[in-house]
Structure 1
């Protein structure tokens, strides 16, 4: 067996396993807190969904890539390959959408109550579930094209129209249709990323104004600490920044591959970048959002340490 393939499979597997455990921890934590009747923040609903979709993304992307790195390219038939690829596409799109929803909701939450967003601010929590449900339906329908574009790797042996993507192959039967679909997906992603950047910039501006307004309090206080809302906002900003960073790098690589015949190492690099955010996101939240640790200690009846 190729030593490079073994090393690559270990990297993919360890990366995927860490991410799966991190997201599973968050999902179980939110579920348990909800089950025992603990009062949760509105953003926790979004974070729970994000963890679920990241968990699904890692299973549908990381595990097949691990097996493909070992040279097991024929372990899926048509139906299996289509199902895995469809789940991968849907969960990727939902991860993007829910991250955008999270940044937008938090921007509305910390906006001044006297502003024109006051009415929207009061109603925003009621629209979280309907909005996320609409995102789910949209991505489920948008990615139906996967059922006609994807084949199992064995098909690539007898067809020059198939391009190998590791554990599945993409069928380019209609270049015009594929180009139009690519434009639609790219525009969708660009809109969501643009909204995230705009919301993040708005939150940074509000935090800066808040810091300047209360600077004299920080100077006189012996142990100045940020408010819970400010800490939650900083946590979400860090999460969004992580997403935009990895997404931008992967988009540049995918754009390069679009105009050239995809090489195996480029496909592997793109696959690795795509699972970086789902892997790191739960640990970014756990390390930066003190409320999550409070949930954990409350769940086990332990004394909460000073955070």
Structure 2
């Protein structure tokens, strides 16, 4: 079982890093070569960076821990790795929230009210992302004082052991403080679900309007509105499911002494969306593949 868990962690990290690094490299290459990028591409690259933080900061170390290689980090290393994981996880949630809201505005009906917002929203993307980085960087500073390397940890029922790092959960967190700390996450998840439902509603209306045209052409291919709806539902359901399950496991671990199996399961769930996300984005956005063909065309020798 330990060997299978180790293979799962390394496979999850390797697959996810390849997908996210592909997006980071692609958009960075296009940017530095002077290509015109869409406003949404900035959201994609930031989401890929946040996902990479989550995968790199925990996947490899958790896999080594499962295989029995513990005490890999000292206090400073433990604090850096765990802090980066927390920041990356919260950033992934916030940037997914920005992405969902941006897409909902872009596909909204063409009327004077929405047209003004559509014209302004690209200017708000970069400031919104910067605010998210600053907010989550400062928000998670408090976790640093609760982290210790496993070499300096005494056995305690108030400590969660990750093998390479330990978290002292303590008893000083009241129910009100826990609710206040989780409130931004709950608000973000609610917003993602609301905007995703709105997008599905708009795509369904558009599908009804053009259904006769598609039917008259007798085309066997899948309707584009149906494909877009499926991608939205896949991305959102994947994100919400894994995030909620990981949150439930984390809350349970803070309520009592967790077993090693529960700790490893929570870590696997935390990395599932960062692993799947880039491939869903690549499959759902045809422009990304056009970018890739452009990059390959620029690199190929001219005859």
For normalisation by structure 1, the TM-score amounts to: 0.89
- Greater shift, 197-206 or 235-244, is seen at 235-244
Partner of 2:245: 249
User: How many angstroms does 1:187 deviate by?
Assistant: 1.3
Flag structure 2 segments of 5+ consecutive residues without an equivalent: 299-303
**Cα pair distance change 1:237/1:120, threshold 3 Å:** farther
Asked if the contact 1:239/1:281 (under 8 Å) is kept, the reply is yes
Taking the aligned partners of 1:68 and 1:17, their CA distance within structure 2 comes to: 17
Partner of 2:68: 71
Partner of 1:153: 150
For normalisation by structure 2, the TM-score amounts to: 0.90
User: How many angstroms does 1:113 deviate by?
Assistant: 2.1
User: How many angstroms does 1:222 deviate by?
Assistant: 4.7
Taking the aligned partners of 1:123 and 1:222, their CA distance within structure 2 comes to: 40
**CA-atom RMSD in angstroms:** 2.2
Counterparts of 1:168-179 in structure 2 under 5 Å?
Answer: 168-173=165-170, 175-177=171-173, 179=175
Question: Deviations 1:10-43 (Å, cap 9, x if unpaired)?
Answer: 2101110111111101110111122222222211
Secondary structure at the counterpart of residue 111 of structure 1: coil
Taking the aligned partners of 1:295 and 1:261, their CA distance within structure 2 comes to: 49
Asked if the contact 2:57/2:85 (under 8 Å) is kept, the reply is yes
Query: 2:18 matched to 1:21?
Result: yes
**Cα pair distance change 1:234/1:294, threshold 3 Å:** farther
Flag structure 1 segments of 5+ consecutive residues without an equivalent: 303-307
Partner of 1:293: 289
Partner of 2:105: 108
Asked if the contact 2:169/2:254 (under 8 Å) is kept, the reply is no
Asked if the contact 2:243/2:270 (under 8 Å) is kept, the reply is yes
Secondary structure at the counterpart of residue 188 of structure 1: helix
User: How many angstroms does 1:234 deviate by?
Assistant: 5.5
Question: Deviations 1:80-108 (Å, cap 9, x if unpaired)?
Answer: 00000100000000000000100001001
User: How many angstroms does 1:155 deviate by?
Assistant: 2.3
Q: In the alignment, which of 95, 98, 101 is matched to residue 98 of structure 1?
A: 95
User: How many angstroms does 1:154 deviate by?
Assistant: 1.7
**Cα pair distance change 1:262/1:121, threshold 3 Å:** same
Asked if the contact 1:235/1:289 (under 8 Å) is kept, the reply is no
User: How many angstroms does 1:177 deviate by?
Assistant: 3.4
Q: Count matched residues.
A: 297
Taking the aligned partners of 1:207 and 1:115, their CA distance within structure 2 comes to: 20
Secondary structure at the counterpart of residue 113 of structure 2: coil
